[in-house]
């Protein structure tokens, strides 16, 4: 079992993660809805823009100055090794498709892992003006605009029939996984009150703040998941893969409030 992290180590990194997530996210607004924005397709077909790359460079530069011995993993520029137990995991624009389309539901994600276990997560939606952030045993906090942080809590809905379910893309349940992934989505849609594609990390922000009950995705990378688990769990929810394991090291993810975890897991398994 990984030894507990000293509160001072967590707090200092949490404060810094919040600061740089806001800096990088606000920088992306300079190119949000900009005319003539060049979109490049990566080898996996996903889009990337100058805003993605500039935001990750800013994050990396800031971390290298403040915590030069920590490792860094980012979606756009890969891995930088470190000599401590800590690794920063970055997704400068989670939801680049939304960003390119001018939809304000994209986010900047900053996470800190210790020995591969997530300790800190920040989800910042700069165009929507919302942030949630969390660290182990330090709670989850929600900020609207320039307001003061308020404790974030998942909802108390206890029947899937009353739940809001969000995902990033319905199409991904057909294209990203084999066998019965689409059946999972169809069952959730049939049994829930409402399904919407308020997706990517913004959907998990909605779960953490009690405005949705379930967020599910069939295709995830570490930079997508690393910030989500601390946020959801510190807000009182559950975060797990489709096998029911509470992990960020899996190609899929589910977040729920505590009351609905069993009902949702019975469907995804």
pLDDT in tens, 155-181: 999 999 999 999 999 999 998 765 689
Answer yes or no: is pLDDT of 253 > 80: yes
Q: Of 43 and 31, which is predicted with more confidence? A: 31
* H-run or E-run covering 97: helix 96-101
DSSP 248: S
Q: What is the mean pLDDT of residues 45-61?
A: 93
Domains 7-151 and 160-268 share a fold: no
3-state secondary structure of 55: helix
Nearest-angstrom CA–CA distance, 217 and 170 = 9
Give the start-to-end residue ranges of the domains of the chain: 7-151, 160-268
pLDDT interval class at 35 (50, 70, 90): confident
More confident residue, 199 or 229: 229
Q: What are phi and psi of 125, to 5 degrees?
A: -105, 90
CATH of 160-268, one of 1.10.357.10, 3.40.190.80, 3.90.1150.10, 3.40.50.170: 3.40.190.80
User: E-strand spans in 75-172?
Assistant: 78-80, 86-94, 107-114, 117-125, 130-135, 139-144, 150-151, 164-166
pTM beyond 0.85, yes or no? yes
Q: Superfamily assignment of 7-151 in CATH?
A: Fructose-1,6-Bisphosphatase, subunit A, domain 1 (3.30.540.10)
At 116, list the tokens. 């591969």
pLDDT, residue 9, reads 87
């Amino acid at each position: 079992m990984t030894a507990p992290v000293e509160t001072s180590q967590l707090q200092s990194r949490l404060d810094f993660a919040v600061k740089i997530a806001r800096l990088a996210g606000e920088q992306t607004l300079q190119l949000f809805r900009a005319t003539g924005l060049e979109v490049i397709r990566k080898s996996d077909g996903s889009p990337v823009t100058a805003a993605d790359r500039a935001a990750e460079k800013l994050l990396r530069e800031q971390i290298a100055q403040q915590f030069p011995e920590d490792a860094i993993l980012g979606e756009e520029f890969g891995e930088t090794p470190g000599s401590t137990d800590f690794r920063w995991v970055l997704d400068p624009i989670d939801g680049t498709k939304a960003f390119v389309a001018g939809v304000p539901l994209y986010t900047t994600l900053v996470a800190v892992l210790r020995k591969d276990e997530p300790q800190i997560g920040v989800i910042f939606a700069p165009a929507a003006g919302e942030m949630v952030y969390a660290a182990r045993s330090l709670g989850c906090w929600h900020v609207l605009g320039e307001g003061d942080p308020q404790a974030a809590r998942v909802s108390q809905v206890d029947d899937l029939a009353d739940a809001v379910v969000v995902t990033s893309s319905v199409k991904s349940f057909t294209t990203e996984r084999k066998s019965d992934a689409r059946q999972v989505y169809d069952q959730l849609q049939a049994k829930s009150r409402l399904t919407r594609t308020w997706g990517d990390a913004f959907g998990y922000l909605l779960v953490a703040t009690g405005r949705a009950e379930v967020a599910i995705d069939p295709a995830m990378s570490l930079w997508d998941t690393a910030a989500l688990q601390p946020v959801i769990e510190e807000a009182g929810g559950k975060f797990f893969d489709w096998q029911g394991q509470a992990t960020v090291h899996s190609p899929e993810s589910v977040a729920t409030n505590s009351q609905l975890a069993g009902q949702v897991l019975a469907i995804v398994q």
